[in-house]
Amino acid sequence: MSKEYETVIGLEVHVELATKTKIFCGCSTAFGAEPNAHTCPVCTGMPGSLPVLNKQVVEYAMAVGLATNCDITRHCKFDRKNYFYPDNPQNYQISQLYLPICRNGYVEIETGKLSENQKNALKGKNGSEITENTEVKRKKVGIHEIHMEEDAGKLVHDDWGEVSLVDYNRSGVPLIEIVSEPDMRSAEEVIAYLEKLRMIIQYLGASDCKLQEGSMRADVNLSVRAVGSTEFGTRTEMKNLNSFTSITHAIEGERNRQIDILESGGKVIQETRRWDDTKFESYAMRSKEDAQDYRYFPDPDLLPVDIADEWIEKVKAAQPEFREAKIERYKQEYQIPDYDIELITSSKRMADIFEEASGICGQPKKVSNWLMVETMRLLKEKSMDPDQIRFSPANLAKLIELVDSKVINNSTAKEVFEVMFDNDTDPAKYVEEHGMKQENDEGAVKAICEKVIAENPQSVADYKGGKDKAIGFLVGQVMKAAKGKADPGTANKILKELLS
């Protein structure tokens, strides 16, 4: 009889911070430049160059720490982690070992209600640990520490195995590493935790946290133990999993591998493993025995950072309203369904647009509809994130007012919106310039209706013979004749009057 096992998981999450410049020099952090375009003596490790700490990095780290209930270390400092690798020109990484900037925090996660990401992750392989469950469970996941460090450069290997090139543009890009306690027990909890972190950090504007693009990277530490046991088992670490799906698969695969070892009387070895999501298995990279000794020591080139209470207060005061608080306030302030609220608050950018546009036009449900339907459709079609939305709340409100005051009808509004979505065009001007105004003169619409009736005797006969649907066809003909600029409601009304 095999025992029941519990999975124990702790995460190390690296997040690239959205600063304009690198952590210890003034080089740009912009992505996509020519290789080595954004480099200087500091971030290429030239002898004699000296690092200067970027204040914004400290503020972002503090902001994330405060939002995750951490204590801020008033006297924190940087240490050198020594190792040789060609993407690391200094032969050490500046990080924080002894006195990380944040410690002892937690985030609260919710499970039981599957998010879109969890559902998608489930689609591929059978995630045995995720079950559809309607009861929402809340739990705290401890955060051991958050520290600041610099990213390494990037090696590019040619296809023939002869040449390796190095690009130092990423060298010195600021990172925070968020180390959790081993508090998670399933893939579902892990994804809920990552989503929670991502939401907090995105709301802070500290990073865009994209797993696929590497601005958020998760290392999964996992062990199993018999249910009821109070001691942790030996863990393995799986590095750099870059999607919720591969995280879910890796957890399932590694849990099963460890249980098989224990069931056959073996011992799990503490090691780093790489998960191959195409083969659905992991393989060992290096064990703890050949782990390097990094010979950490305090970096003599950087002063310790002393953080005064006033500075912490300043960062605290600048914190945004986070998602949970926003959801509660929306429920009080706006008459819109909970479903809308969930979707709108899933991005701070979208929530900001919603609030401002609703404030201007006073029609929250209509604003919400434009965001949930047309905006979501176009974002998906153009593979964009809500953060990249370009239209202004003022123009969205204007568009809604144009429809309300019958200057344009709904289908024209959709056309105008597509243009506005790309260029934040002023909808009123655009409608004016392109002669898109609706024909509100009932006399003019009536004339078109009469013409349509004369030209479509069969539909008229159908309608009169009791086929109510025929009116729809006639309205369509009127709209066509009016080049889309009639109000379908008015056309419908006039047609019925004429035919009765």
Site for ligand ADP in 2-61 (CB under 6 A): 8-12
The C-alpha atoms of residue 169 and residue 318 are separated, in whole angstroms, by: 31
Q: Which does 336 bind (CB under 5 to 8 A by kind): Zn ion, ligand ADP, none?
A: none
Angle between helices 442-455 and 488-499 (to 10 degrees): 60
| Residues making up the chain, counted from first to last | 500
The stretch near ligand ADP (CB under 6 A) out of 152-160, 162-170, 228-236, 414-422 is 228-236
Nearest to 96 by CA among 12, 177, 165, 190: 177
Instruction: Please select the residue that binds ligand ADP; options are 108, 181, 301, 426, rule is CB under 6 A.
Output: 181
Give the x/- contact pattern for ligand ADP in 99-128, rule: CB under 6 A. ------------------------------
Minimal distance, residue 43 CB to Zn ion, in Å: 3
From CA 158, how far away is CA 162, in angstroms rounded? 7
Tell me, residue by residue from 233 to 252, as one string, x for binding to ligand ADP by CB under 6 A and - for no binding: x-x-----------------
381: amino acid identity, one letter: E
Separation CA 156–CA 86 (nearest Å):
11
Interaction between residue 129 and ligand ADP (CB under 6 A) = no
DSSP secondary structure letter of residue 168: G
Choice between 36 and 363, CB closer to Zn ion = 36
173, 174, 175, 176: CA torsion to nearest 10: 180
Q: Which residues contact 54 (CB under 8 A, 6 or more apart)?
A: 19, 21, 22, 23, 24, 174
Binds 25, which of Zn ion, ligand ADP, none (CB < 5 to 8 A, cut-off by type)? Zn ion
Residue 44: contacted member of ligand ADP, Zn ion, none (CB under 5 to 8 Å, by partner type)? none
282 makes contact, choosing from Zn ion, ligand ADP, none, with CB < 5 to 8 Å by partner type, with: none
Binds 10: which of ligand ADP, Zn ion, none (CB < 5-8 Å by kind): ligand ADP
Helix (H, G, I), strand (E, B) or coil at 488: helix
* Contact track, ligand ADP, 196-225, x by CB under 6 A: -------------------------xxx--
How far, CA to CA in Å, does 432 sit from each of 356, 406, 435, 438, 485? 25, 14, 5, 11, 12
Helix axis angle, 488-499 relative to 457-464, nearest 10°?
A: 70
List residues bridging with 217 in a β-sheet: 14
Nearer to ligand ADP (CB atom), residue 266 or residue 489: 266
Binding test (CB under 5 A) with Zn ion, winner from 9, 17, 27, 494: 27
- Residue 24 CB, nearest approach to Zn ion (Å): 8
Contact set for Zn ion, span 28-87 (CB under 5 A): 40, 42-43
Query: In angstroms, what is the minimal distance from the CB of 335 to Zn ion?
Result: 52
Binding site for ligand ADP (CB under 6 A): 8-12, 179-182, 221-223, 232-233, 235
